[in-house]
């Protein structure tokens, strides 16, 4: 999916910055090593490392990995990047804060989401936390198909060029799936790509936790850590090990 999207990923998400302060704050609680699962372009890894945190980012997309590597080299950021699938990655390291950041959990279907939670739980240091950040599921459930009526927006690329962007979606709510689509006008060319997201409600997510040896520590509805409810913008779930 990220073959085409990698080039435009940071452009599309350039206004999504509120999570950086939250993860910095959680990191400053003295949790030790940080793992960013599905680190993508390094959107979180880079500011966390710049703030002095010891961060490892892992991603299984070679295209996203290349974007992150390039950014880190340009900005001389001292973080570790791993190109691997989190479901099969082996390491002796254990992490005090594991981030499954902006919507990454939604890329895992109902078969693999438990594997992701188990793999993450295995990597937790004693007393550590896993923090998942996804789009509010009730917001996803309310999406009607918007194939024809794409909302137009304009993003500025690194060279300050305005690139018209459209995004839309097609939803299969019986399966709790939404295909989000993007179109970008770049130098006269229309570039298109999409990504399939699986949304799940808090109680559905909680059903997976015992098998992964995890339990809820807190649930927030936005990056200011306000309590979660059905009207919240985000669903941010902090998990701890049951044995903690
Ligand atoms: C929605 S993006 C989020 C990127 C980044 N965390 C951020 O906040 O901007 C999800 C990322 O997860 C990665 N990913 C998906 N499945 C993965 C897996 N099994 N192992 C490692 N990375 C994965 C994708 O390649 C993609 O870069």
Q: Note the pLDDT tens digit of each residue in 190-215.
A: 888 889 999 999 999 999 999 999 99
Residue 159, C-beta contacts closer than 8 angstroms, at least 6 positions apart? none
Predicted pLDDT of residue 162 = 73
Q: What is the pLDDT of residues 124-156, one digit of tens each?
A: 999 999 999 999 999 999 988 766 545 566 677
In a shared domain, residues 33 and 107: yes
Q: Ligand 1: distance of its center to the CA of 217 in Å? A: 23
Residue 200, C-beta contacts closer than 8 angstroms, at least 6 positions apart? 110, 113, 137, 176
Domain that holds residue 43: 2-136+201-241
CA distance 180 to 204: 22
Predicted pLDDT of residue 165 = 78
Q: Is the CB of 10 under 6 A from ligand 1?
A: no
Name the residue of 107, 112, 182 whose CB sits within 8 Å of the most ligand 1 atoms, as the mutation to test its pocket.
107
**Tokens read off for 86:** 């989190």
Predicted pLDDT of residue 189 = 83
In a shared domain, residues 227 and 160: no
Q: Is the CB of 241 under 6 A from ligand 1?
A: no
Predicted pLDDT of residue 147 = 62
Predicted pLDDT of residue 39 = 97
Residues 195/40, Cβ–Cβ less than 8 Å: no
Residue 122, C-beta contacts closer than 8 angstroms, at least 6 positions apart? none
Chain centroid offset of residue 83 CA: 16
In a shared domain, residues 9 and 62: yes
**What are phi and psi for residue 32, nearest 5 degrees?**
80, -140
* H or E element, residue 236: strand 234-241
Q: Is the CB of 101 under 6 A from ligand 1?
A: yes
User: How many structural domains compose the chain?
Assistant: 2
> In ligand 1, which atom is closest to the CA atom of 133?
8
In a shared domain, residues 130 and 165: no
- Which among 157, 207, 159 has a CA at the least distance from the CA of 184? 157
Q: Is the CB of 120 under 6 A from ligand 1?
A: no
In a shared domain, residues 114 and 38: yes
Alpha helix segments (H runs only) across 36-174: 45-50, 62-75, 113-122, 137-141
**Tokens read off for 130:** 């896993």
CATH code at 86? 3.40.50.150
The mean predicted confidence, pLDDT, of the chain is 90
Q: Is the CB of 59 under 6 A from ligand 1?
A: yes
Predicted pLDDT of residue 146 = 67
Name the residue of 40, 71, 82, 98 whose CB sits within 8 Å of the most ligand 1 atoms, as the mutation to test its pocket.
40
Residues 133/240, Cβ–Cβ less than 8 Å: no
In a shared domain, residues 37 and 126: yes
CB atoms under 10 Å from CB of 18, counted, come to 12
> In ligand 1, which atom is closest to the CA atom of 61?
25
Q: Report which protein residue has its CA nearest ligand 1's atom 24.
A: 38
Q: Is the CB of 107 under 6 A from ligand 1?
A: yes
Predicted pLDDT of residue 145 = 74
Predicted pLDDT of residue 178 = 94
In a shared domain, residues 67 and 126: yes
Predicted pLDDT of residue 126 = 94
Predicted pLDDT of residue 151 = 57
| Threshold 0.85, pTM exceeds | yes
List of the chain residues with pLDDT < 70: 1-2, 5, 30, 146-154, 160, 244
Q: Is the CB of 39 under 6 A from ligand 1?
A: yes
Predicted pLDDT of residue 152 = 62
In a shared domain, residues 55 and 105: yes
Residues 66/39, Cβ–Cβ less than 8 Å: no
Residues 56/27, Cβ–Cβ less than 8 Å: no
């Amino acid at each position: 999916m990220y073959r085409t999207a990698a080039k435009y990923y940071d452009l599309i998400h350039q206004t999504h910055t509120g999570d950086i302060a939250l993860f910095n704050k959680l990191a400053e609680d003295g949790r030790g090593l940080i793992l960013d699962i599905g680190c993508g372009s390094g959107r979180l890894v880079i500011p966390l490392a710049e703030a002095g945190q010891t961060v490892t980012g892992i991603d299984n997309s070679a295209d996203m990995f290349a974007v992150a590597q390039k950014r880190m080299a340009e900005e001389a950021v001292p973080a570790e990047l791993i190109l691997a699938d989190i479901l099969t990655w082996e390491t002796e390291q254990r992490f005090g804060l594991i981030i499954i950041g902006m919507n990454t959990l939604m890329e895992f279907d109902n078969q693999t989401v438990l594997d992701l939670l188990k793999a993450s739980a295995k990597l937790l240091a004693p007393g550590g936390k896993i923090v998942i950040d996804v789009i509010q599921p009730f917001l996803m459930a309310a999406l009607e198909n918007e194939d024809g009526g794409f909302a137009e927006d304009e993003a500025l690329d690194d060279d300050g060029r305005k690139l018209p962007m459209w995004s839309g979606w097609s939803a299969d709510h019986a399966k709790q799936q939404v295909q989000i689509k993007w179109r970008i006008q770049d130098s006269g060319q229309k570039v298109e790509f999409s990504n399939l997201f699986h949304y799940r409600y808090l109680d559905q997510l909680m059903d997976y936790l015992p098998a992964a040896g995890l339990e809820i520590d807190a649930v927030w509805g936005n990056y200011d850590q306000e309590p979660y409810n059905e009207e919240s913008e985000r669903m941010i779930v902090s998990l701890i090990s049951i044995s903690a």
